[in-house]
Amino acid sequence: MRAQIDDTHALDLRSWVASADGHSDFPIQNLPFGIVSVDGGERRAAVAIGDQVIDLAAARATDLFADVAEAAVRVMAGGELNAFLALGAAPRRALRARLSEILRVGAPERARLEPLLLDRSACTVHLPTRIGDYTDFFVGIHHALNVGKQFRPDAPLMPNYKWVPIGYHGRASSVVPSGTAVRRPRGQIKSADFDAPSFIPSRRLDFELELGVWIGPGNDLGTPIPIAEAADHIAGFCLLNDWSARDIQAWEYQPLGPFLAKNFSTTVSPWIVTPEALAPFRVAQPTRPDDDPMPLSYLADADDQAAGGLAIELEVLLETPALAAAGLPPHALSRSDARHMYWTVAQLVAHHTSCGCNLNPGDLFGTGTISGPDLTSAGSLLEASLSGKQPIRLRNGEERSFLEDGDQVILKARCTREGAAPIGFGECQGRITSTN
Ligand code: CA
């Protein structure tokens, strides 16, 4: 069942954690889950509130949780949240509701909880799950159109696009948390001027602006998840940067699709923003033009079409070494919105499992690059620079077609709606280092 709006979302709800009030990402209305450590110590499950985090095991040890909420914290051992995600929606909702209660202004539990707060800046934040499998989709229709136009001006969309949520199986081992350096890959690159490829550092290194989806309980092999139940298997969301080496991609991608061009690093924002926190920001699936096909029945659900979309404003910032040295802020490269997704996340879950493939708790989906309709909303440099034909000019006179060593890409997300407290996702950031 889809998460509903309740008293945890109230606009006037305030926390006794002072930094939470008006916090751009983590006010009391959000309460995302993650894994942190301090000074190289044990990895612990935590919830983010303002500029601080609460160690959930320590809170449990002071008897702050009971019943289902207590059971949810009990499984958060071992430095990963897979077992928690496996529990599904009800324990997650109960725990979030209890956290909201004890973090509110006036909560009598404050005296017991306050000593357990840690400064978020003093914590190392890790991947929230042990990711068994990672799948990347292609739901951004403007991205598909923009890239398709570069290769097939007369027919930019492949004939299957509006029928089937396109995806490929990615590589889980190289998914890294925000802040991890991204080494420029070397690979086989073949320029048009030569008959043979060379093995050299990528010269067309790019980012891709995506949402990540954390999988909850999942399904047994051979048992598809019906579209009407798909929301029960979505445990949360993050930002995801699918770093891509366009020159390696161009030579290797036919006939089996992306391989080394995309498996060298995928960066995620480390806090799991729950479907409960996003309840106020649900929107209808974008209306399909009349001549688009209706989804086949296994992808069609009235509730999903009415409220399966997400209103999440997305932003890409680029910081170059020269901008930083001059004390200038990062360049605002692009603004987009999750409303540009052609397929809902429930449709991705239903499609992925429709042949019987099993999803496991803690698996990760990437939505695919979420671009808007014009260059100011491009979700990749391939689109923003028209494949390098139209370099982007930064405020200090620098130009970029693709990423240079030392460049830092920062993805941000923000949810706003009249009558709701804005929430964000935290940063998804990575800096390019040289190949050696
Ligand atoms: Ca991608």
Cα 315–321–325 angle (5° rounding)? Answer: 110
Residue 343 alpha carbon to ligand 1 centre in Å:
15
Q: CA 425, 274, 7, 103 torsion: positive or negative?
A: negative
Q: At what angle do helices 67-74 and 89-103 cross, to 10 degrees?
A: 100
| Phi and psi angles of residue 84, each rounded to the nearest 5 degrees, phi first | -65, -45
Residue 190 alpha carbon to ligand 1 centre in Å:
22
Summarised one tens digit per residue, pLDDT across range 373-424 is 999 999 999 999 999 999 999 999 999 999 999 999 999 999 999 999 999 9
Three-state DSSP class for 16?
coil
Say which of 9, 143, 331, 352 is annotated catalytic: 143
Return the pLDDT at 109: 97
126 catalytic? Reply is no
Which residue intervals of 277-387 are DSSP H helices?
302-307, 321-325, 345-353, 381-384
Residue 12 alpha carbon to ligand 1 centre in Å:
38
Say whether pLDDT at 3 is over 90: no
Summarised one tens digit per residue, pLDDT across range 134-162 is 999 999 999 999 999 988 889 999 999 99
Task: Read off the pLDDT of each residue in 293-308 and give the average, rounded to a whole number.
Answer: 96
Say whether pLDDT at 1 is over 80: no
Neighbouring-strand partners of residue 408:
319, 431
Say whether pLDDT at 436 is over 80: no
> Rounded to whole angstroms, what are the CA distances from 362 to 48, 123, 180, 275?
19, 22, 20, 15
Which residue intervals of 132-279 are DSSP H helices?
141-151, 246-252
Task: Read off the pLDDT of each residue in 227-246 and give the average, rounded to a whole number.
Answer: 98
Residue 435 alpha carbon to ligand 1 centre in Å:
22
Residue showing tokens 């941000």? 412
Ordered by where they begin, the domains of the chain are 7-126 (2.30.30.230), 134-433 (3.90.850.10)
Residue 372 alpha carbon to ligand 1 centre in Å:
15
Q: In 243-264, which positions are buried (b, 16+ CB within 10 angstroms) versus exposed (e)?
A: bbbbbbbbebeeeeebebbbbb
Residue 146 alpha carbon to ligand 1 centre in Å:
14
Residue 242 alpha carbon to ligand 1 centre in Å:
5
| Phi and psi angles of residue 227, each rounded to the nearest 5 degrees, phi first | -55, -35
Q: Is the pTM of this model over 0.85?
A: yes
Say whether pLDDT at 223 is over 80: yes
| CA distance linking residue 242 with residue 219, whole number of Å | 26
Peptide bond into 321 cis (omega under 30): no
